[in-house]
Structure 1
Amino acid sequence: MTKKNISFNDAIAEVEAILKKIESGVLDVDLLSESVKRASELIKICQKKLRDAEVEIEKIFTESQKEQ
């Protein structure tokens, strides 16, 4: 799955898996910066998806209030 079309839930699950590896010490130090970078990218994707959803929901509410 490319990062552009990863679902919100899959992105969150991947961030949680990375965090669990970091917290448990299982993650190799050589991969630490790469993993943190990936987690950061995933968090940005999630933030964008949340902002997009918020805008869409606000639009729906605005349109429904105009109809009343």
Structure 2
Amino acid sequence: MATKKISYEDAMKELESIVQMLEEGNVSLEDSLDMYQRGIELTKLCQEKLAAAEDKLAKVVTEADEEEPFQVEEGKK
């Protein structure tokens, strides 16, 4: 599956599935390593998609003449 063509939501679902399978521990070592690598790829993809969305939102806010651009505060939910 091409990682770049997957939606954020689908990537998260796949990542959650991988985590669940790895936590269950019923996967061979080789498969675990492959799943771990795929999980890293999906994590990076999700981070990129979120960063792109934040940039887009910042641009929209700036174009709307808001006083401050959108900023994400690290570590807060």
Tell me the TM-score normalized by structure 1. Answer: 0.90
Deviations 1:9-51 (A, max 9, x none): 1100111101000101122222111110000000000000000
Ranked by relative contact order (alpha carbons within 8 Å, sequence separation 6 or more), the top structure is 1
Q: Which has the higher helix share?
A: 1
Task: State the partner residue of 2:12.
Answer: 12
Task: State the partner residue of 1:26.
Answer: 26
Runs of 4+ in structure 1 displaced over 2 angstroms?
none
Indicate yes or no: 2:47 matched with 1:39: no
Tell me the TM-score normalized by structure 2. Answer: 0.80
The unaligned stretches of length 5 or more in structure 2 are 67-77
State the Cα RMSD in Å.
Answer: 1.2
The unaligned stretches of length 5 or more in structure 1 are none
**Percent identity of the aligned residues?**
36
